[in-house]
Amino acid sequence: MANKKAQEVTKKATATKETTMKKAETKKVETKKAAEKKVENKKKENTTVSIAEIEKLYTEAGIKVYNPNIKGNYRIMGHKKGSSLNLRADKYIIFSTNEDFEAIAPLKGKYSDLTLAKGGNAQDGSRPNVVEVTALDTLKAILKVYATNPLNKIPVAA
């Protein structure tokens, strides 16, 4: 009888040890997955430049910043109803006027990270179209196209 009790105690101890080991292994796997996800998320974050750098890019391209004193990640080009750039952590979204969108449309296919959606921002009558870009070089190239619109240009003093 004492031998049976000893066997039961040993079985329980072994089962408890196995359960503890399984929990520890599961926790290690979960911790490793969480760490990998954190690294992946960090890569996604901050792939865009700051809004101050966007303003500098506007100036370099010859585009007037209509609302330079506004807070946040939103800048309008040229005039009150001009196209606008919205800065996100992983991409640049430009809500375009019809005129600007038509100028950008021929670039579709030239840049792999350029996405165009005619009428993609239908709630805004001034800027009904959406242009999305993820690469800074592509953004610089399309800003040059936006700069060809006389309404977006920095006024030249006479």
For all residues of the chain together, what is the average pLDDT? 84
Please write the tens of the pLDDT for every residue from 107-133. 999 999 999 999 999 889 999 999 999
CA angle at 65 for the pair 61 and 66, rounded to the nearest 5°: 145
Q: Residue 150: which of 116, 111, 99, 107 has the closest Cα?
A: 99
State how far the Cα of 74 lies from the Cα of 86, in Å rounded to an integer: 5
Higher pLDDT, 6 or 113: 113
Residues 62 and 112 in one domain: yes
Model pTM? 0.69
Question: Are 62 and 38 members of one domain?
Answer: no
Residues 70 and 94 in one domain: yes
Per-residue pLDDT of 59-104, as tens digits, reads 999 999 998 888 899 999 999 999 999 999 999 999 999 999 999 9
CATH number at residue 89: 3.90.1150
Note down the domain range covering 5. Answer: 1-44
Has residue 157 been placed in a domain? no
